[in-house]
């Protein structure tokens, strides 16, 4: 095991592990390498505080984009996985994540993460059907779009896809669901509680009457997302590319494309679009 607390040592990694980018600031933080052929990428302005990044296998990538806020992470990767965090995500507390069985976690730009959030892409023990004897709990990746707000103590579990502009409430458990853009979900299991919403990063804790009154209306479309086929990137497409990559170098190279592809609606799926599709399917059944 190699445990690094001095970022300068990242330039002298054994076992074909690599560091790429600008040396991060490590404040009460460590990076642990227990495997080989892994890549850690840090953009400029990456400051890890009270964090642990652990490579417990081979050929994985942890990719941290530039951030005007502090990174607070406890991430464990195993084999052939990718953990990607886009630009300027705010971590109120530590985000904990475990990447298992060659699957991935992808987080877009400008998200907001409260305290005590967990992400897990495996159960991780095996479950089989009593009749067929086939496994029924495969591991699945997690994908979050841009400007996503995750509330305190939420659990984001395998197969979850949260598209841009949405909110997951406090203590929610989200497992295997596709969350459309500009919707709010809460509960265990999570369910949609609002649609056609957007959120801003203003914080109300210290407000008095005049500030509350001034902010009763927010006339902006900056956080309203609309499906655009020219901009849209399907999470399934990203997952396939990361899974098909034969090594960490190929995963890293693919992830670099998201630093230039910054279209607003790149990770947008609208709830109206899904609803109309369901209605059309019901209509077809009437004519069968």
| pLDDT tens sequence across 10-61 | 999 999 999 999 999 999 999 999 999 999 999 999 999 999 999 999 999 9
* Contact call for residues 182 and 165 (beta carbons, < 8 A): yes
Res 124: pLDDT: 85
The model's confidence at residue 272, banded by pLDDT at 50, 70 and 90, is low
* Torsion on CA atoms 166, 171, 173, 179, rounded to nearest 10: -10
Question: Is the omega angle on the peptide bond into residue 87 within 30 degrees of 0, that is, cis?
Answer: no
Question: For 2-286, which CATH superfamily applies?
Answer: Hexapeptide repeat proteins (2.160.10.10)
Asked if residue 284 has pLDDT above 60, the reply is: no
Positive/negative CA dihedral, 172, 176, 181, 183: negative
Structure tokens at 62: 């942890």
Res 271: pLDDT: 73
Give the pLDDT confidence of 174-232 residue by residue, as tens digits: 999 999 999 999 999 999 999 999 999 999 999 999 999 999 999 999 999 999 999 99
Give the pLDDT confidence of 125-149 residue by residue, as tens digits: 999 999 999 999 999 999 999 999 9
Contacts of 81-84 with C-beta under 8 Å, sequence gap 24+, read 81/57, 81/105, 82/106, 82/242, 82/251, 82/255, 84/255, 84/258
Three-state SS at 82? strand
Res 285: pLDDT: 47
pTM of structure? 0.93
Q: Give the Cα separation of 277 and 288 in Å (integer).
A: 17
Three-state SS at 19? strand
DSSP character for 267? T
Mean pLDDT for all residues in the chain: 93
Structure tokens at 16: 């074909």
Structure tokens at 129: 């059907």
- Residue 221, CA distances (Å) to 87, 184, 192, 196, 201 in order: 20, 17, 22, 12, 14
Lowest model confidence (mean pLDDT) among 77-86, 104-113, 260-269, 275-284:
275-284
Structure tokens at 156: 């984001």
**Arithmetic mean of pLDDT, 95-124:** 97
Buried b (16+ CB within 10 A) or exposed e, 25-41: ebeebebebbbebbbbb
Phi, psi (deg, nearest 5) at residue 232: -70, 135
Asked if residue 113 has pLDDT above 50, the reply is: yes
Asked if residue 105 has pLDDT above 90, the reply is: yes
* H or E segment to which residue 271 belongs: helix 271-286
Higher pLDDT, 261 or 97: 97
- Residue 26, CA distances (Å) to 8, 56, 72, 89, 122 in order: 10, 20, 11, 18, 29
End-to-end Cα separation, the chain, in angstroms: 63
């Amino acid at each position: 095991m190699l445990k690094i607390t001095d970022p300068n040592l990242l330039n002298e990694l054994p076992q074909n592990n690599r560091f790429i980018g600008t040396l991060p600031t490590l404040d009460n933080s460590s990076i642990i390498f227990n495997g080989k052929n892994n890549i850690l990428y840090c953009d400029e302005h990456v400051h890890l505080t009270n964090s642990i990044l652990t490579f417990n296998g081979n050929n994985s990538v942890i990719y941290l984009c530039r951030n005007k806020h502090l990174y607070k992470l406890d991430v464990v990767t195993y084999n052939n996985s990718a953990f990607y965090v886009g630009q300027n995500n705010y971590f109120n507390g530590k985000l904990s994540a475990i990447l298992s069985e060659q699957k991935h976690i992808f987080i877009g730009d400008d998200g907001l993460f409260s305290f005590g959030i967990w992400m897990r892409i495996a159960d991780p023990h095996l479950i089989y059907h009593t009749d067929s004897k086939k496994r029924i709990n495969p591991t699945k990746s997690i994908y979050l779009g841009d400007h996503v707000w995750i509330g305190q103590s939420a659990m984001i579990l395998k197969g979850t896809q949260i598209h841009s502009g949405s909110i997951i409430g406090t203590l929610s458990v989200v497992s295997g669901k596709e969350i459309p853009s500009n919707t709010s979900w809460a509960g265990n299991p999570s369910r949609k509680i609002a649609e056609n919403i957007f959120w801003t990063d203003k914080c109300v804790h210290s407000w008095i009457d005049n500030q509350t009154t001034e902010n009763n209306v927010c006339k902006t479309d900056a956080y309203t997302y609309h499906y655009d086929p020219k901009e849209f990137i399907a999470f399934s497409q990203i997952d396939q590319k990361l899974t098909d990559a034969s090594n960490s170098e190929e995963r890293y190279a693919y992830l670099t494309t998201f630093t230039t592809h910054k279209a607003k609606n790149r990770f947008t799926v609208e709830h109206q679009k899904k609803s109309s599709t369901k209605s059309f399917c019901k209509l077809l059944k009437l004519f069968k």
